Amino acid sequence: MQLPVVYQKAKEQVFKIWTTLQPLLTVHVGLASSAKALIILEQCGKNKVYQEMDACGLHPEGGCCMLDGPEKIESTINMKTLWKNISVEGIDIIFSRDAGRYICDYTYYTSLYYGNGRAAFIHVPPLSKSVTAEFLGKALQAIILEMLKQCREESN
């Protein structure tokens, strides 16, 4: 599902995902246009300081995702462990605790909030000659399979 670059609409879509589909885990993928050949595994979402305008020229009320929400929410997926255990030939993978303060981080925090931490966010580079859609798809598949292993281990 492609989410719009609009805070309120993205929040509504994420809420709908969690309430209607009730997934075990939701994995969000966002574009990091500055990362040329880099996949970034994001550990947590932040609630405040969303001042940048979205595609409709708006920003969230109070600059927050959730007015009553905690400052940050950590994913139940241990991204640092995932980062240490995964290797994809031809692309670097890094671990991050700051997904930025725009739609990506906003969406991630919202999903972590509604999903009680059962969400993940991966920043990917733009497609290029070295990072093709097929290559990126295979890399994301390997990463998501590792995430699902963690989910299974956690539930056992």
- CA–CA distance, 124 with 127 (Å, rounded to integer): 9
Give 12's contacts (C-beta < 8 A, 6+ positions apart).
Answer: none
Beta strands in the chain (DSSP E): 26-31, 38-42, 44-46, 72-74, 92-96, 119-124
% helix / strand / coil in the chain, to the nearest 5?
Answer: 40, 20, 45
153 vs 141: CA distance, rounded Å: 18
CA angle, 9 then 56 then 111, to 5°: 30
Catalytic positions, written as ranges: 42, 104, 123
CA distance 78 to 64: 25
